[in-house]
Amino acid sequence: MKVQTRILALRGEDEALHENEQPVPLACAEMLAKPMSVDEAVMPLELSWRDELVFADQENDRLNILYCKADNSVGCVETESV
């Protein structure tokens, strides 16, 4: 499953986006969300320099996101089908 990621420029604390203004994209990339279990996804996350890993849950083919938390634990965002 292909996934597109974007890095967006955010405003400073005292600068809010106006109603019709959009964040400015700094970088875009496409990547392949490989099918794997949550347990299998932990190792590539720990071995990479990134703080997150997007993968397809091999049981239901939904996108999941593993991310490193400030306390050095790992969180998981599991999406639902629409």
pTM, entire model: 0.70
Structural contact between residues 66 and 40, judged by C-beta atoms closer than 8 angstroms: no
Residue ranges per domain, the chain? 2-78
Span 23-48, average pLDDT:
88
CA distances from 50 to 22, 60, 68, 72 (A): 26, 25, 9, 13
Q: How far is CA 18 from CA 11, 24, 34, 69, 77, in A?
A: 11, 13, 37, 31, 29
pLDDT digits (tens, 9 = 90+) for 51-71: 899 999 998 889 999 999 999
Domain 2-78 = CATH 3.40.630.30: no
